[in-house]
Amino acid sequence: MDDPILKYSILDAVHGNHGNLTQRQISQKLGCSVASVNFALRLLAVKGYIKISGANPRKLSYHLTPKGILQKSILAYNFLKRQSALYEEVRQGLLEKLSTLVAEGVRKVSVYGCTPFTEVAILYLISEGIQVVSLYADQVESGGRSHKIPFRAIADFQPDCEVLVLMDLLPSPWDDEITIEKLVCFPIPGPT
């Protein structure tokens, strides 16, 4: 089994349910076939990560061994390490792209999209002396929190900035209706 996410998911399911899950329940929980779960459980048992007990094949119990708990922790750590490296790579790309605004002498921007990188973008822009006029989203709930930067619905867009920084794709029909001299797009990659 070469899929570390499947391996982690099975170890986590077994660990969290103390032997009370059947193969069918595990397959439903993970969204994969019973045959895949059966193969994975047997392989994990051969490696010493899971102990299988019970005489009736329909009532088998699965328990994590100490070696399995360690393997689950290693898989989680490696996943977080890869995700941290990806996050840092994307963050650096964002900062490099935003630094072109500083070099061009831009003084006022608005930002569209609430992504995990929006706050990074806003903090960088403010630290470089660029005024963030508004933060736009698809919808803004009334009675929400107060912001130092006005939080507006994209439908209420006002061209009171030099640049609109897109942290996400504009929804239709606003992608054709918003007119501003310059857009800076920063597409965020999907999950890996």
Domain boundaries, the chain: 4-64, 86-185
Residues 111-126, buried b or exposed e (16+ Cβ, 10 A)?
Answer: bbbebebbebbbebbe
Name the CA radius of gyration of the chain, rounded: 24
Domain 4-64 has CATH 1.10.10.10: yes
Residue 141 has pLDDT above 70, yes or no: no
The CB-side HSE value for 8 (13 A sphere, CA atoms) comes to 12
* Residue range 86-185, CATH number: 3.40.50.720
pLDDT band per the 50, 70, 90 thresholds, residue 40: very high
98-121 residue pLDDT tens: 998 889 898 999 898 888 888 899
| pTM beyond cutoff 0.75 | no
